[in-house]
Amino acid sequence: MMPKNILIADDEKNMIETLKIMLGNEGFQVESAMNGVEALETFKAGSFDLVLTDLKMPKLNGIGLIEAITEISDVPIIIMTAYATKNEAIKALNLGALFFIEKPFKKLELLNFINRSLKTEDLIKENRELKANIAQTSGLDKIIGTSNKISGVKELIKKVAKTESTVLITGESGTGKEMVSRALHNLSPRADKPFVAINCGAIPTELLESELFGHVKGSFTGAVKDKIGLMEMADGGTFFLDEVGNTEPTTQIKILRAIQEREIMRVGDQAGRNIDIRLIAATNENLEESMKRGEFRKDLYYRLNVIDIYIPPLRERRDDIELLFNHFLSRKDVNGSFSSDKIPADLMDVLMNYGWPGNIRELENVVERLVALSPDGKININFLPDHIRHQKKPQLISDDQNSIPSMDEIEKAYIHWILTQHGGQKQKAAEILGIGRSTLDRKIEKYGIN
């Protein structure tokens, strides 16, 4: 085990020499400085596990040294002085010092403070490493893929996770929106606090508010006791609101209040309750279209959409299909019967050319089917679902046309293909086509594209 490094700051030369001998005999590495300025420079130039500083020093006193060090490090600090006062002690402790010891002190008393400080520091480091491991195992490495598009999503997650900004995750069903939300939480300063999720589309409208905000006894039929809501459960942590587009306008008002005022009110209650949550929402719907229809509040949309993370569908990241297939195969293969290098090439070709409307969730289900139907570990293309094995490509321009297709026919076919590839998301299609949304709407109407 490496010896611990201690920095001593004191303007009394005899005290420094005494402490060097004392701590050296205990196996510590010791460096020293005779004023606060010199101590700060030494600290910045080295690597220390603990700082032992006098309170009264020239140029920069102990209080000033603590303030400077705590801005750049969380190293434990012990204050020592012959001029202790209650106010100075309180100020030093409030600024970050762990202990306050008066001169003259006994050797065992000082060593006790030092060992307790170092033990605290070791616990802090272990906790920090544990958080890093949690983030690594439950964060970005859970998002499988190396394609440019998914790599871009991962980079955005790393940047956004450290902030407190509200995030709106958009993408088709099955693309992994909850996984992205968990990565945002696990990489955030709130990682050691609760992560609570709710799927608004899976809960009846009349029960959703009770689930979100809780209720008080007697507020409605069946409310036989007080119930805490999921938002309240997430206090201090992250709340994931999946399929937020399925909420009613009355519920949307209360969600908006929770974001803006950091306050919720249980159903049937008269008093609000303060909450501290980082809200992440997700949807597979086009909320801009919902706003136009009056189904989704504009003020809530703009409050949710502070940062937008778009997760591309699987058909836009085909480079990841084989990687995902092997990942799911290793998870489903509990007996170790399958080998990724024995997957038939024709089967993988079919998977690579399939459109995957159900995205990653559909691919996982297909792998589970193949494993279940191949107990001997030999996967056969015939075990694929019929609709995947016998894919039919739509022909908007038939092969038997005698004449060369017109530009309108080609444009119609291309717009239809782009819309199909992006699940009917008009805004996304317009961006890819390089035209405005209103222009795309006119062309869709002109060509009668469904």
- Three-state DSSP at 293 gives coil
Residue 285: how many other CB atoms lie within 10 Å: 17
Residue 7: DSSP 8-state: E
Q: Is the pLDDT assigned to residue 394 strictly greater than 90? A: no
Fold identical between 5-131 and 163-310?
A: yes
Decide if 101 contacts 62 (C-beta within 8 A).
no
Highest mean pLDDT among 24-33, 93-102, 123-132, 421-430: 24-33
DSSP secondary structure letters along 128-155:
HHHHHHHHHHHTGGGS---SHHHHHHHH
Segments making up each domain of the chain, as ranges: 5-131, 163-310, 314-389, 407-447
Confidence class for position 218, pLDDT limits 50, 70, 90 = confident
Q: In what order do the strands lie in the sheet with 29-33?
A: 29-33, 5-9, 50-54, 77-81, 99-102
> What percent of the chain stands above pLDDT 70?
92
First to last CA, the chain: 70
What is the model's pLDDT at position 296? 94
Which of 1.10.220.110, 1.10.580.10, 3.30.565.10, 3.40.50.2300 would CATH assign to domain 5-131? 3.40.50.2300
State pLDDT tens for residues 45-55.
Answer: 999 999 999 88
What's the one-letter identity of residue 329? L
The CATH T-level fold of domain 314-389 is Helicase, Ruva Protein; domain 3 (1.10.8)
For the 163-310 domain, the top CATH level (class) is alpha beta
Q: Is the pLDDT assigned to residue 321 strictly greater than 90? A: yes
Q: What is the mean pLDDT of residues 78-105?
A: 77
Q: Is the pLDDT assigned to residue 403 strictly greater than 80? A: no
Q: Can you tell me the distance from the alpha carbon of 211 to that of 214, in angstroms, rounded to the nearest whole number?
A: 6
State pLDDT tens for residues 367-383.
Answer: 999 988 987 878 889 99
pTM (two decimals): 0.60
Which of 3.90.1720, 1.10.10, 1.20.81, 2.60.120 would CATH assign to domain 407-447? 1.10.10
Q: Is the pLDDT assigned to residue 84 strictly greater than 70? A: no
